[in-house]
Structure 1
Amino acid sequence: MQNNDLDKMIAMSAVASGKPGWQGLADYLALQGRGVRKRALAELTEFVQAAATWSFDRRLDLCLWLLESLSPYSMPSPLLETIVHPTCREWGEREPDTVIAHLWLGRLGLGVEHYERALYLDPACAEARGCLCEAMIEPVWFNQHHLPDYYINSPAADLLDLAEAEAMWVGREIGSVATQCLKDIHEYRENAQAWLRDHPQGP
């Protein structure tokens, strides 16, 4: 965990302490932010057990605050697995036509299909389009991350996937999200083409 995440947790603890029923979370955040991990985990365990019994609306308020305040990668597993994941899944089931619910489900790594659903519901949502594009090209990055030593899987297949990802932006406004995606696509395409050119008979 990065130092800025720890500093953020300490700041979050002050906010959480003012919420009814959140004192256990506030104590966890303060202790974790100061590096007192054993006591922090004890506070978190007790809080999670209590929060799991809350109403859906109350749990969702907690989840949205957490997701807007802290990266999911910085959240402890008990909080993610017992509260955040189940509550967000329930949100998606209760409100299947809510774009933001599917965006959060996708960001939590609970399925690329949630980005697809969000984009279906709102084709103008650049964030959903960007997240889906990143999910499509991430495997290409993985296939190339050992270059120039070797290429994982098929560069020819990667070129097809990159073309599909690029096509998502045809006729769309090119904002900052699109600019970064298209930049990555261009870089990965050049890598794949160079590998095919230098290895015409395969690796």
Structure 2
Amino acid sequence: MNYWNCDNFEGLKAIGALYSARKGYELFGQYCLQKEQGLKKQAIATVNQFVSHCKTLPLAEQRQMAEELSSLGFWHRETHQLLAYPLIVLLKGVLSQWTLDEPNNPIPHKWLGFIAGDIDSYERALTLEPTDEICLTQVALSHLNSVDFQTHHLSESVLLGGVFHSCWG
């Protein structure tokens, strides 16, 4: 029998082992291992320590860390407990400020799109880097999901949303 949440716990264990040995990410790795073991209070205390530590880093290191952890979260979504709320708040703050400081840099826009669930950030990143596969995919999925939502009651003769006109006539 396969436990429904085993991907999450296996991911936490593997990522925790990897990041525990990585300079600057030891507390993050420890958080993952504690979370995998079910040590909730200790895990939250550790992730809070990690967040506090990150806030003391130079800006360039904070940005590198935000890019690293956002990418990690994106590629390991089955490990849904990977990015705890205090860490998400930190990442949103770093990425948001980065987009203001460097409005023409697609990297913070892309990862803010993921962390904040913000399609506008993905679209901004896409205007800056039109070949970014992550942004292309996320924008396309957003539009497909919108069409799906608007049309899911068509069998009842109900269209949720407006009829739009194509630019081709």
Q: What is the aligned partner in structure 1 of residue 50 from structure 2?
A: 47
Q: What is the aligned partner in structure 1 of residue 115 from structure 2?
A: 108
**Alpha-carbon shift at residue 131 of structure 1 (Å):** 2.1
Q: Deviations over 1:64-118 (max 9, x none)?
A: 222222247542111101x211111122223222223222122223532222222
Paired with 1:44 and 1:118, the residues of 2 have a C-alpha distance of 29
Paired with 1:35 and 1:148, the residues of 2 have a C-alpha distance of 46
Paired with 2:132 and 2:24, the residues of 1 have a C-alpha distance of 35
1:77 aligns with 2:122: no
- Residue 98 of structure 1 aligns with an amino acid whose one-letter code is N
Match of 1:36 among 35, 39, 53: 39
Q: Which has the higher contact order (CA 8 A, sep 6+)?
A: 2
Paired with 1:145 and 1:3, the residues of 2 have a C-alpha distance of 32
**Alpha-carbon shift at residue 13 of structure 1 (Å):** 1.6
Which structure: larger Rg? 1
Q: What is the aligned partner in structure 2 of residue 128 from structure 1?
A: 135
Indicate the RMSD between aligned Cα atoms, in angstroms.
Answer: 2.9
Structure 1 residue runs without a partner (length 5+): 168-203
**Alpha-carbon shift at residue 31 of structure 1 (Å):** 0.8
- Residue 94 of structure 1 aligns with an amino acid whose one-letter code is D
Paired with 2:132 and 2:68, the residues of 1 have a C-alpha distance of 22
**Alpha-carbon shift at residue 129 of structure 1 (Å):** 3.0
Total equivalences in the alignment: 160
- Residue 60 of structure 2 aligns with an amino acid whose one-letter code is D
- CA gap of 1:50–1:122, structure 2 versus 1, over 3 A, is closer
TM-score (norm 2): 0.75
**Alpha-carbon shift at residue 145 of structure 1 (Å):** 4.6
SS in 2 for 1:128: helix
SS in 1 for 2:103: coil
Match of 1:153 among 125, 143, 160: 160
SS in 2 for 1:108: helix
Paired with 2:5 and 2:159, the residues of 1 have a C-alpha distance of 31
1:15 aligns with 2:22: no
SS in 2 for 1:54: coil
**Alpha-carbon shift at residue 147 of structure 1 (Å):** 6.6
- CA gap of 1:112–1:68, structure 2 versus 1, over 3 A, is closer
1:60 aligns with 2:60: no
